[in-house]
Structure 1
Amino acid sequence: MEDGRIIELYWDRDQRAIPETAGKYGRMLHGIAWNLLRSREDAEECVNDTYLRAWEAIPPARPGAFRIWLGQITRNLSLDRWKSLRAEKRGGGAELLNVFLRGLSREGRAMFLRRYWYGESVAEVALALGCGEGKVKSSLFRSRKALREYLEKEGIAV
């Protein structure tokens, strides 16, 4: 169905407007939401909210480029959802990091903090702890890998 006819369905408050929109643009809208959220459920929710927003906006709106207009709605909803999810997880991030650091050995924690909190070079860390640079590098590599696994296990995408 042509965009003009779909928009007329919205204007007439004909409920067929939603399935017609979904049939023509649903796949594209899901793609936009998925690319931002990487969650099937969240993407589905944003696409459904897009249909609701279109229903509420038409009339009085009469979008000229319907496809682009729908895509912008989905993109904005998805970005808002992404920001919301990120903000929820941000609050617990410091505590998660503290728990992770407490799980490291004393030496591993010292290397990690000196390098990533205080910004010391690998050479400075090695000198301060009286070990070789290779040991510092391998410890930091293992710690980063363990941190990534720990955060992913806690539901935080890295």
Structure 2
Amino acid sequence: MSWNRTFIESLKEWDGNTSEKSISINDVAVYLGLTIGGQDPLENIDRGLAFLEERINYLVEKESIQEQFLVESLIEFTTKYLAKFNGDRGRCELALSEWEKIIAVNFSRENKMLLVNAKFKEMAKKHRDFYKTLSEEDKTKTIGQLYKETKAELDN
């Protein structure tokens, strides 16, 4: 499972475990999505989790934001957001407590290592696949040299 998927599943788990809360999962998800540059909150209010997941995927895949960094930032931001949300103090504290328990399990040191290792294996495969596409001459060049040559070809 990816960092993003684990985060989204954690939000779903939090929603399922905290029926007595004064903020909805869609409210949290849309707020997080807007915080990381998402647009059109009114169009996305009923599909908050999908909106958030799409936004995270966009930032990781198209903008090259490191997934681990982004998700860990969102976890921290969500925790702080829930901590300062004062709708009904008793229910808010229960919601925050439940969130912290879920995060402690889903993003434990061991589970983080599994996520890091999965990402490492994925990147290693991409590097191997890229290496296979290179000519024998290109295999002796540095990434910087390949980049300069490719850029020069594209500029012409």
The TM-score normalised by the length of structure 2 is 0.28
Which of structures 1 and 2 has the larger relative contact order (alpha carbons within 8 angstroms, sep 6+)?
2
Query: Which entry has the higher C-alpha Rg, 1 or 2?
Result: 1
